[in-house]
C-alpha cells in the first residue's frame, strides 16, 4: 500500500524539498500551510502531476484547528514548520512559543491519529551554542541555554528538548528522531526562500561590500530532505531517539566567496574580495541587527560533524562547493539576483 506522510510547513524551503522527494518516491503527501487559499495554488503549480497524491490542509502552529484532518490516514510525520525569520524579534517568545507549542501540537495530533513515526526538523542551533570553549560538535552535544543565546537558537533547542520529553512521557512507543541541519543552501524554487539562502544572495548581489571574519557549516537542502526521507523509511530500531546533524563542512565566508569566484566566475562580478575589519563590525553592531549577529560570531569556529548521519542513514552529503555553485546558479536562473 502507498504510504501517506504529513509534511508540516509545505510552503517552506526545506518543507518543499521534502515534499518533492516524497512525491518522487511514490508517497501520498499531506501538507499544512498557514493560508490555504494563498498557498495551495502555488503548491499545485510546483507539482502539477501530483493530483490527489498531494493534499493541502490549513493549520497554524498556534491553533488546534485543522491538525486532526491533516494527520488523518498518515503513516509518518515530518514536522518541518517553525518560525525562521531574518531579523531577531524584540520579544524572544515570538519564536520560542510557536516553535515549542507547534512541535507539541504536531506530536499530540500525530499520536492521537495513531502515527508511530515522527521526524522533527530541529537544527544545529540545538547542538552548537552556549559552549564558548568548544569548536567541534557532534550529535551528542546540546546547546547550553544557561549561557544566554539568541532567540532563534533558544527556540530550536527548547522545541527539540520539549519534543523528546513529551515522547518519553506520553508516547514511549513512538519512533521519534530529529534532523539537525546547519545552514541550508542549494537550489531554490522561487524567490520565497529561506533566511539561510539570503546569505549567498548577499554575497553575489553586492550588498556585502566587505567580508566579515566569520564562518558557518554548509549543508545542501537536497541532503536535508533526503535525511528526512531516510529517517521515515529506516527500520525503527535504527533511528529511534536519534539526532541526525546534516553538515558537509565548515567554511569561512571568505572561502565561500572564493568558491563562488572559482566555480561560477560569470556570476561573481559583485562578490567581495576585501576583509571587513572587526572594528567596523563592532562599530556598526549597535545600529544594525545583522552586524550584531556577526559580532558574536567573529573568528569563531563552530564545526558540527555530519558523519554520524552519513553512517547511520547510509548516504554521502553533496560537497559544499557544489551546493554553493548550485545555489548561485539557481538564484541567477530564476531571476532572483541580477549580477
The three cell numbers of residue 167 are 515522547
d(CA 298, CA 304): 17
- CB-closest chain residue to ligand NAP: 12
Please say which residue, 81 or 281, places its beta carbon nearer to ligand NAP.
81
In contact, 54 and 26? CB cutoff 8 Å: no
Residues 207-226 that bind ligand NAP (CB under 6 A): none
CB of 305 to ligand NAP, least distance (A): 15
306 in contact with ligand NAP (CB under 6 A):
no
83 in contact with ligand NAP (CB under 6 A):
yes
14 in contact with ligand NAP (CB under 6 A):
yes
Please say which residue, 196 or 305, places its beta carbon nearer to ligand NAP.
196
Q: Which of 19, 158, 183, 294 binds ligand NAP (CB under 6 A)?
A: 183
SS3 content of the chain, % helix, strand, coil (to 5): 45, 15, 40
CB of 90 to ligand NAP, least distance (A): 17
Site string for ligand NAP, 143-162 (x = CB under 6 A): -------------x------
Please say which residue, 32 or 175, places its beta carbon nearer to ligand NAP.
32
d(CA 245, CA 156): 13
Beta-bridge partner residues of 238:
none
Q: Which of 6, 76, 80, 107 binds ligand NAP (CB under 6 A)?
A: 80
Torsion angle defined by CA atoms of residues 176, 74, 224 and 229, in that order, rounded to the nearest 10 degrees: 90
DSSP label of 12:
S
Beta-bridge partner residues of 322:
none
Residues 47-66 that bind ligand NAP (CB under 6 A): 60-62
The three cell numbers of residue 171 are 508516547
Q: What is the number of other CB atoms lying within 10 angstroms of the CB of residue 315?
A: 12
Q: Provide the sign of the torsion angle of the four alpha carbons 18, 23, 28, 29, taken in this order.
A: positive
Note the Cα 63 to chain centre separation in Å: 22
118 in contact with ligand NAP (CB under 6 A):
no
Q: Which of 181, 186, 215, 245 binds ligand NAP (CB under 6 A)?
A: 181
Q: What is the number of other CB atoms lying within 10 angstroms of the CB of residue 58?
A: 18
Please say which residue, 47 or 282, places its beta carbon nearer to ligand NAP.
47
Task: Count residues near ligand NAP (CB under 6 A).
Answer: 24
H helix count then E strand count, the chain: 13, 12
Please say which residue, 42 or 282, places its beta carbon nearer to ligand NAP.
42
CB of 287 to ligand NAP, least distance (A): 25
Distances in whole angstroms, Cα of residue 3 to Cα of each of 29, 43, 74, 232, 313: 9, 20, 7, 11, 20
Residues 27-46 that bind ligand NAP (CB under 6 A): 34
Look at residues 189, 228, 195 and name the one whose alpha carbon lies nearest to residue 309. 228
CB of 42 to ligand NAP, least distance (A): 10
Query: Using CB under 6 A, which of the segments 18-26, 82-90, 263-271, 289-297 binds ligand NAP?
Result: 82-90
DSSP label of 222:
H
Query: Using CB under 6 A, which of the segments 68-76, 179-187, 256-264, 313-321 binds ligand NAP?
Result: 179-187
309 in contact with ligand NAP (CB under 6 A):
no
| Site residues for ligand NAP per CB under 6 A | 9, 11-15, 34, 60-62, 80-84, 98, 121, 123, 156, 181, 183-184, 194, 196
Amino acid at each position: 500500500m502507498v504510504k501517506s506522510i504529513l509534511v508540516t510547513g509545505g510552503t517552506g524551503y526545506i518543507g518543499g524539498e521534502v515534499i518533492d522527494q516524497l512525491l518522487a518516491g511514490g508517497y501520498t503527501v499531506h501538507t499544512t500551510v498557514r493560508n490555504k487559499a494563498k498557498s495551495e495554488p502555488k503548491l499545485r503549480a510546483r507539482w502539477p502531476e501530483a493530483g490527489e497524491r498531494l493534499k493541502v490542509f490549513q493549520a497554524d502552529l498556534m491553533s488546534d484547528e485543522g491538525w486532526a484532518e491533516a494527520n488523518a490516514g498518515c503513516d509518518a510525520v515530518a514536522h518541518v514548520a517553525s518560525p525562521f525569520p531574518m531579523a531577531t524579534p524584540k520579544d524572544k517568545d515570538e519564536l520560542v512559543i510557536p516553535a515549542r507549542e507547534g512541535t507539541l501540537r504536531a506530536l499530540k495530533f500525530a499520536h492521537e491519529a495513531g502515527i508511530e513515526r515522527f521526524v522533527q526538523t530541529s537544527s544545529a542551533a540545538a547542538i552548537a551554542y552556549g559552549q564558548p570553549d568548544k569548536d567541534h560538535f557532534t550529535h551528542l552535544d546540546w546547546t547550553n541555554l544557561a549561557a544566554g543565546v539568541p532567540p532563534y537558537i533558544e527556540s530550536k533547542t527548547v522545541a527539540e528538548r520539549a519534543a523528546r520529553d513529551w515522547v518519553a512521557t506520553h508516547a514511549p512507543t513512538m519512533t521519534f528522531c530529529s534532523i539537525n541541519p546547519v545552514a541550508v543552501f542549494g537550489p531554490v524554487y522561487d524567490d520565497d526562500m529561506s533566511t539561510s539562502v539570503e546569505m549567498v544572495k548577499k554575497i553575489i548581489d553586492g550588498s556585502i561590500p566587505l567580508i566579515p571574519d566569520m564562518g558557518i557549516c554548509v549543508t545542501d537542502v537536497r541532503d536535508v530532505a533526503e535525511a528526512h526521507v531516510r529517517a521515515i523509511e529506516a527500520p525503527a530500531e535504527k533511528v529511534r531517539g536519534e539526532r541526525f546533524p546534516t553538515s558537509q563542512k565548515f567554511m569561512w565566508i571568505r572561502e565561500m566567496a572564493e568558491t563562488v569566484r572559482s566555480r561560477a566566475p560569470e556570476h561573481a562580478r559583485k562578490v567581495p574580495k576585501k576583509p571587513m575589519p572587526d572594528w567596523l563590525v563592532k562599530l556598526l553592531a549597535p545600529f544594525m541587527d545583522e552586524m550584531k549577529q556577526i559580532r558574536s560570531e567573529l573568528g569563531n569556529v563552530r564545526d558540527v560533524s555530519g558523519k554520524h548521519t552519513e553512517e547511520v542513514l547510509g548516504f554521502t552529503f553533496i560537497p559544499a562547493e557544489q551546493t554553493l555553485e548550485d545555489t548561485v546558479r539557481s538564484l541567477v536562473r530564476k531571476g532572483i539576483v541580477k549580477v
